[in-house]
Amino acid sequence: MDERPMPSEASLAREIFGPLGGIVECGASLRGETAAEFVAIRRTELDRILAAVRDIGRFRPETMEIVDQLGYLREHDIPVTSLLLWSGCIEEFSPELGGAEAVRRMARMGADLQLTHLLQALVGTASFRARDVEASAATIVEVLETAAVLGSPAHARTASEVFLMWRAAFLPGVLMPASNSPEAVKRSFRAYAHTLEAALDTCASGELG
């Protein structure tokens, strides 16, 4: 019997769209662009990500509208306090928080952290809603490859780097015996971790060849 509590479709979507919004805000801050400028320049990449998210989660159109409701892809202010939160408070809250160096550190750390949160949310959504692990893992890799270059122009991450950060930071919390994750969730996360690793190794081998 599958004992997994079934999250709502909307809650799964929000878990994905939140980190994606963080990546947008951190990327815009690193490039000195407004949110609207950042989105307009990278509309093709963002649309590709959203289409992949829709497919992974088999989300309905009304669920995909949540990303518009959250407002991350529209013009809006990006206060330094948002960067502080996206980055996990890597900087101390102080009058110097808005300085160029502090903003750079927060935006770079925030991009890294939110990429790992994005992968966690994608795997979680796929675990509950996707029908095929290999196909969904391949789509997740495509999302990572696209999203990873949105964060830092000078220090763009690879999909493999995001995977390694996620595997070290998030996976043990799901899989350790002390975790309260149901066994079905552990099995699913293990399956995605193994399949993603194999897919990324294959990509790396192809690039080297």
Neighbour count for residue 107 (Cβ, 10 Å): 25
Residue 202 is predicted with a pLDDT of: 84
In angstroms and rounded to an integer, the radius of gyration of the C-alpha atoms of the chain is 17
What type of residue is 1? M
Assign 142 to helix, strand or coil. Answer: helix
C-alpha neighbours within 13 Å on the C-beta side of residue 197: 12
> How far, CA to CA in Å, does 197 sit from each of 79, 95, 136, 194?
36, 43, 13, 5
- Residue 53's Cα: distance from chain center in Å? 11
- pLDDT above 50 for 128: yes
CA 15, CA 124: separation in Å to the nearest integer? Answer: 9
Is 119 in contact with 162 (CB distance < 8 Å)?
A: yes
What type of residue is 95? P
191 confidence band (pLDDT: 50, 70, 90): very high
H or E element: which one contains 34?
A: none
pTM: 0.94
Instruction: Go through the chain and tell me how many residues it has.
Output: 209
Q: Mean pLDDT across the chain, nearest whole number?
A: 93
Is 156 in contact with 138 (CB distance < 8 Å)?
A: no
Residue 155 is predicted with a pLDDT of: 76
Assign 98 to helix, strand or coil. Answer: helix
Q: Report, as an integer, the average pLDDT of 116-135.
A: 96
